[in-house]
Structure 1
Amino acid sequence: MGSNTDEDVADEDQNVPTFVASLPVPNVQEMVRQNRLEVPERYIRNEEEMPKSTRITHLSAEIPIIDLRLLSDGQEEELKKLDMACKEWGFFQVVNHGVAKEVLRNMKEAAAEFFNLLLEEKNKFSMASDDIQGYGHAYVVSEEQKLDWSDTLILLIYPSKFRRHKFWPTTPEKFKEIIEAYTSEVQRVAEELLGSISSIMGLDKDILHSMHRELMQALRVNYYPTCSKPDLVLGISPHSDTSTISILLQEDDIDGLQIRHDEEWVPVGPIPNALVVNIGDVIEIWSDGKYKSIEHRAVTNENKARISFASFLFPHDDVEIEPLDHMIDSSRPSGMYNKVTYGDYLRQSMKRRMQGKAHTQMAKNET
């Protein structure tokens, strides 16, 4: 970590990017603390969106599990498994990733301690009016939209020159160092995964990484309070990620993440110490739709709060993304997607509420 002087300079640097603001809304955790039985109308979904109990949990066992150690060694069968995961599921769990259990445990414990602070303490790190870094809520763009049953902490991590340290919690003690340790490992895992994805896309191993100009990383820590009527609300609305790839750390013993597969919602059962990885819109565009950026959502429960840690890896703002020539189907030579500047794509998606893959229309080739 830099000195305090360095941090202050970074926070004031006009070259640090800002993102789209989110409207202020009630703190869900505090609402539950005051009345655990209350579920305001603005959180209750319509019949179509309500997370009815799924009966297809058997499909959870089919979500691919990828061994990063084998991938990094270039093991052919593991590369084929990765290719299948990207094409058919868009999601997979990663084991043998090399992140120490202590690093994962420290991150979970420190985040739990932060969210258990009094609201006035957490609000010291509230999002600014023009950005989504900090503590609060994201993707709230209108007074009428249905709200997610969650609170969040969002930080831009890499490149480190873009960090706004005034939004980094100082309690619990050493939380900054714990975030640094965890996210630096996530960056390493992401770089290894991008090398393998580059290979299965028929590119040299370092090409995808170089196409980012800088591999950016943002961290979103989600807190899902208990809900007395979990079948009426959603922790996070259905969406696909605008990232290149996303890496998620789940609680070991609480379900919550669900992915859309064959028009059904499939729970992603936690595997202790594994990382969940999903393909983002950038890879879908580069692969011209061959690798899928899949809709996913989070559900709540009555008995236990849940925390998840989503890291988004994405290109620099000025990178132009479009289908790679060799990935375009010869039957559709113009490709499924148009060229877009990533920063424009990202911010346009942030100006709308999370609504499945509706935001991808700005990049779609309609001809």
Structure 2
Amino acid sequence: MEQSFLGEVMKVTREFYKLPLEEKQKYSNFVDGKEFRLEGYGNDMVISEKQTLDWCDRFYLVVEPESRRLYTLWPTQPTSFRDILCEYTARCREVTNLVLENLAKILNLHENYFVNMLDENAMTYARFNYYPHCPKPDQVFGLKPHSDATVITIVFIDDTVSGLQLQKEGVWYNVPIIPNALLVNMGDAMEIRSNGFFKSPVHRVVTNAEKERLSVVMFYSMDPEREIEPAPELVDEKNPRRYRTIKTKDYITEISKTFARGTLAIDTVKI
């Protein structure tokens, strides 16, 4: 994607979060101030009084399939927000398909093997994150350690301040800032489908005492009614099945619970 277009994506994200609070709350993720829904502006769901909250505002929207878009939640300000998001969705889908085709080739599967996981009923969510500067960054996360429930995730990171970290063998590493680059993350569904060949990395976002931070994340998830399980072609005597079968919607429910508790959903399906 052109540098100028990616700049527009970050620009409309920044302009949305600069709107007055009452304007942003028109798109609240609480229906009538009571019932939580995934889509909309606000914070993540509070499941327990003991839950540690993240230092983050987020704005979730379903962008695919188009029939599932709830346009009443799509901002009218800034005026270019909707058009930019539509184009960004289409162009990220091209990136996603290209990546999935090459991942299939690595495992000697036919080119569309993983692409077909994202059929016409698969869900794509856009999440716009805003991390305000935090007076006590050592006491709170921007986003708790977790792995994604997705097939893959595409992240467009603000190039002015770091914050995303990746865990490897118990050590946390900063993800370097590369201007106008997209970060592609494997999700839990891909780890399960590949029978553990691809790993869904544990990651987190740390806060910053001086600077705010933005990111735009595209989550690619299977049809909620489809089952996630290891591909039969990747299971044999030398490579026994490592994960049990679970329906996508049930796994997403599980990841909501484990995220609130600070544990990992992928551990609940390992054999």
TM-score (norm 2): 0.93
Q: Say if 2:23 is the partner of 1:121.
A: yes
The 3 A distance-change label for structure 1 pair 236 and 256 is same
Describe the SS at the equivalent of 2:104.
Answer: helix
Deviations 1:303-362 (A, max 9, x none): 1110011110111111112111232363463x1101111122112222443456521233
- Aligned mates of 2:229, 2:89 — CA distance in 1: 28
Distance 2:26 2:162 in 1: 30
Pair 1:170-2:76 in alignment: yes
Q: Whole-Å Cα distance in 2 between the matches of residues 332 and 186 of structure 1?
A: 33
CA contact (8 A) 1:345 1:362 kept: no
Amino acid at match of 1:275: L
Give the match for residue 158 of structure 1. Answer: 64
1:180 to 54, 78, 86: 86
RMSD of Structure 2 on Structure 1 (CA) = 1.6
Q: Output the amino acid matched with 1:337.
A: Y
Counterpart residue number, 2:194: 287
Q: CA deviation at 1:299?
A: 0.7
1:229-248 aligned within 5 A: 229-248=136-155
> What do residues 98-135 of structure 1 show as CA deviations (whole Å, max 9, x unaligned)?
x1222211111111111111111100000132421000
State TM-score, norm by structure 1.
0.70
Question: Contact 1:238–1:354 at 8 Å: present in 2 too?
Answer: no
Contact 2:47/2:260, CA 8 A, preserved across alignment:
no
C-alpha distance in 1, partners of 2:99/2:215? 21
Q: Which residue of 2 aligns with 1:134?
A: 40
Larger of the two Rg values belongs to structure: 1
Which residue of structure 2 aligns with residue 268 of structure 1? 175
Counterparts of residues 149-228 of structure 1 (less than 5 Å): 149-214=55-120, 215-228=122-135
Cα deviation per residue 1:195-222 (whole Å; 9 max; x = unaligned)? 1111112111112111333343101111
Change in 2 beyond 3 A, CA 1:304/1:311: same
Structure with the higher fraction of residues in strand conformation: 2
Residue 203 of structure 2 is aligned to residue 301 of structure 1:
no
| 8 Å Cα contact 1:317-1:342 kept in structure 2 | yes
CA distance in 1, matches of 2:161, 2:123: 29
State the partner residue of 1:320.
Answer: 227
Deviations 1:203-255 (A, max 9, x none): 11112111333343101111000011111110000000000000000011210
Kept after mapping to 2: 8 A contact 1:320/1:342: yes
| Number of equivalenced pairs | 266
Q: Secondary structure at the match of 2:139?
A: coil
Once residues 55 and 8 of structure 2 are traced to their aligned partners in structure 1, the CA distance between those partners, rounded to angstroms, is 25
- Provide, for residues 11-68 of structure 1, a one-character-per-residue CA deviation record: whole Å limited to 9, x for no partner: xxxxxxxxxxxxxxxxxxxxxxxxxxxxxxxxxxxxxxxxxxxxxxxxxxxxxxxxxx
Letter in 2 for 1:254: V
Distance in 1 (CA, whole Å) between partners of 2:117 and 2:54 is 34
